[in-house]
Amino acid sequence: MNDSRELAPILLRWYDRHARTLPWRAPRGERPDPYRVWLAEIMLQQTTVPAVAPFFRRFVARWPTVAALAETPLDDVLRAWAGLGYYARARNLHKCARVVMDEYEGRLPDDEAALRKLPGIGRYTAAAIAAIAFDRPAVVIDGNVERVIARLHAIDIPLPKGRRVIAEAAGALAPASRPGDFAQAMMDLGATICTARAPRCMLCPWNEFCAARRGGEPERYPRRERKRVKPMRRGIAFFLRRADGAVWLRRRPERGLLGGMMEVPSTPWRERAWSDAAARRAAPMALAWHELPGEVRHGFTHFALELKVWAARVGRAAMRDERLAFDDGEWVAVDRLDELALPTLMKKVVAHALKAEQE
């Protein structure tokens, strides 16, 4: 392992010259805003910097403080989040803002242990906020840092098993001074120099210390175990319209995938296909459903989904039928659908159904 007393100062000098300018990053010499650091770290989970930047700017323009975010309705936050995906992050962000207002007088706590108790803040995010926002000593390891450390030491243990060794090596490098700058320097090094493909080794401040470069195969690291084929799940979505064309939507349960989001109702998603009889029993109400041609496909982190779409229309007489549970959802005009925080999957279902109606 290399000596952090030599490596950390080298990287910090490089960072002082080459730090990226990012909308959530404080200019040199200014104290970071913990709210902006926290917001950025939540947005950046499983999302890229170029994708996050415009969302971040719009978000802080609308809600510049924790207090402003805590006071706004959740649906407004979900609508602003549309396009970033993984909506559980937005729900936890809103919940966290309210906890910070209620329990911490509107100020994020400044240590990892307290941060990890807040909704939506895990080990990495707590370390990043503690280091960057409060300059607390913390080992911050994202995908970029993981790659840098694996190459620096030519760590050959495949991920995810190799993460423990990578974390130990990263901890040995972390300096006692300027921990926030060091964390951001590691991220910048991985994002701009030690990239996944075609790393720019000649420009790297650590190139003479890098074991992977000496071995001539930097792109070999970090090694990863072969990805398992995602299982396929199947379901039926029920696209219901009334005489004026409005679409019937309902809200998903707060817990679980796409929790709290508006949806085109569907059967549970399962491995085996749905028979017509089973699908009709699972439909939100007994109507003259008919299957539309084709299907909607969507990928989640741990499985792929295939939805067939069934459609029905209700006339004025049916709207007065007390046996039909329309109160479980709400009717939304088609030209207002864009105003809702519909997840991408549901946007696909709506687009598929509307296209099928026109054909």
- Name the amino acid, one letter, at 26: A
C-beta of residue 316 within 8 angstroms of C-beta of residue 263: no
| 41 catalytically annotated | yes
Instruction: Spot the catalytic one: 41, 146, 168, 254.
Output: 41
Please state, in angstroms and rounded to a whole number, the distance separating the CA atoms of residues 271 and 303: 10
Name residues whose C-beta falls within 8 Å of residue 245's C-beta, 6 or more positions apart in sequence: 333, 334
β-strand 296-299 against 290-291: which pairing, if any?
unpaired
Asked whether the bond before 222 is cis by omega within 30 degrees of 0, the reply is yes
Please state, in angstroms and rounded to a whole number, the distance separating the CA atoms of residues 275 and 273: 7
Q: What's the residue count for the chain?
A: 359
Q: What is the per-residue burial (b if ≥16 Cβ within 10 Å, else e) of 189-210?
A: bbbebbeeeebeeeebbbbebb
**So which residues are the catalytic ones?**
41
